[in-house]
Amino acid sequence: MENSDKTKIEQIIRMRKQAHSYYSDKSKVYRSFTVMEQNTYTDGVLTKKQKELIATGISVAENCESCMEWHIKQAIDAGASTVEIIEAIEVGIEMSGGPGTVSARFAMSVLEYYNK
């Protein structure tokens, strides 16, 4: 993993925590979103792990670096293996074509960051 990707990942984490702290007290819409997010990623017919893998693929297709960092970490925390995460990334590549291969490069860095 390139040092610039490591720096970017750490900046994403830092900025997410800062924004969460800022908006949690100031925005009812933000608080509502976090409740929706918590409800979305609880086990149901699909497990949290399965939902995080779906979100990982969507994150690659959307080229949302912050989303990739968050959902890959959440998938790992929910018990997803590296192989499962790579398959989710592959779904994102297929769904978005060539641009998905570019997004997958950053997703690879995130996976390497957490598997160090």
- State the SS3 of 23-57: HHCCCHHHHHHHHHHHHHCCCCCCCHHHHHHHHHH
Residue 116: the pLDDT is 79
pTM: 0.89
Residue type, 23: Y
* Kind and range of the H or E run holding 93: helix 82-96
Q: Rounded distance, CA 44 to CA 26, Å?
A: 31
Residues of the chain short of pLDDT 50, as ranges, are none
Dist. CA 24–CA 102, nearest whole Å: 33
Report the chain's mean pLDDT, rounded to a whole number. 94
Domain 3-114 has CATH 2.130.10.10: no
pLDDT tens string 41-72: 999 999 999 999 999 999 999 999 999 999 99
